[in-house]
Structure 1
């Protein structure tokens, strides 16, 4: 049988910002209990008093705060260089039997210009090419027989080099996403390799996003 404590836990798990604020003791328990009275009453299908919810909140034991994890601190302190590349375009095309062959021709051109920014991601139904805008006409010509789903210009990429053991640390990306969300920064695309993390934002957000990520590192 579901209890008030179960409902409180379910709500906090789905709202990590709220859970973190609770773990840092920066939330008014009484005010939060009143706020949660209606949703918890609906979950239990009966009237629940704010006092019962406040008791459940005070008894709630959140997982060890990510910011207090020794491993997490070590990884964040060892974040590598932050690199910004501007004048990028994101091409989204529908997957087809010819996309790989056409893409190979694009790779031949890229190999001749090593300083270009370029990434390629193939999903189940669509593929993305993010590339320096100087090659826009070339990309459109090479993919003229493909179905474009979206073309977005005026983008910038911010890349962060991650320590070698980053894949063993739970919640690392959460720190980036939390900071960017708090700053109201809209992410156009997210790309990652084993030891590198890249966000793609519209040019108007690039300075704010760069500062936000530097704050994570510091």
Structure 2
């Protein structure tokens, strides 16, 4: 049987910004309880008093990652260099029997140009190639028989070097996404390797995105 506490937890988990604000004691419990009275009453299909909700809010224990744990603080402090690469193009191509062979020819070209930006991701139904825009004609020529789903020019990549064992820290990426969302930055793509995290944004968001990432590090 669901309780008021269960409903409060469900609502807070679905709204991480609200959950974080609550964990930092910057929300008025009484006002929030009044705000949640109607939705929780609907969830339980009976009238619920705001006092019961306020009690559940005060008893709620947020995940330790939202209370700035020592491990999380150290990971943020140990973030490495932030690298910006501009003038990139993102190709999304439908997977086919010929794509790998055509991609191999592209790799030969890129292998001789160490300063070029390049990433490749193969999904179940489509593949993604992100390259320096100077290679656009070359890519268009070698993929002319493939089916393009989307092509986007004028992109920039911001890469953050992550500390070792970052994959063992729950909620690390949340801090990046939270700050970017607060700044109104729209992410075009998100890429990652074991120790690197890269976001791809359109030119209009570059300054905001770079500043937001730096603020996380600070």
TM-score (structure 2 length as normaliser): 0.97
Counterpart of 2:69?
Answer: 69
In structure 1, how many angstroms separate the alpha carbons of the residues matched to 2:89 and 2:181? 23
Counterpart of 2:96?
Answer: 96
SS in 2 for 1:184: coil
Counterpart of 2:57?
Answer: 57
SS in 1 for 2:131: strand
Higher mean displacement: 72-81 or 187-196: 72-81
Contact between 1:82 and 1:159, CA under 8 Å: does it hold in 2?
A: yes
Contact between 1:67 and 1:73, CA under 8 Å: does it hold in 2?
A: no
Counterpart of 1:120?
Answer: 120
In structure 2, how many angstroms separate the alpha carbons of the residues matched to 1:177 and 1:113? 32
1:78 counterpart = 2:62 = no
Counterpart of 2:202?
Answer: 202
Contact between 2:90 and 2:130, CA under 8 Å: does it hold in 1?
A: yes
Q: Deviations over 1:51-90 (max 9, x none)?
A: 2211111111212253521111111111111000000000
Contact between 1:157 and 1:200, CA under 8 Å: does it hold in 2?
A: yes
In structure 1, how many angstroms separate the alpha carbons of the residues matched to 2:204 and 2:108? 32
Counterpart of 1:178?
Answer: 178
In structure 2, how many angstroms separate the alpha carbons of the residues matched to 1:64 and 1:130? 36
In structure 1, how many angstroms separate the alpha carbons of the residues matched to 2:166 and 2:61? 26
In structure 1, how many angstroms separate the alpha carbons of the residues matched to 2:190 and 2:112? 26
Contact between 1:20 and 1:65, CA under 8 Å: does it hold in 2?
A: no
Once superposed, what is the RMSD of the aligned Cα atoms?
1.0
Counterpart of 1:10?
Answer: 10
Gapped regions of structure 1 (runs ≥ 5): none
In structure 1, how many angstroms separate the alpha carbons of the residues matched to 2:139 and 2:67? 43
In structure 2, how many angstroms separate the alpha carbons of the residues matched to 1:67 and 1:138? 49
In structure 1, how many angstroms separate the alpha carbons of the residues matched to 2:65 and 2:115? 41
Counterpart of 1:32?
Answer: 32
Gapped regions of structure 2 (runs ≥ 5): none
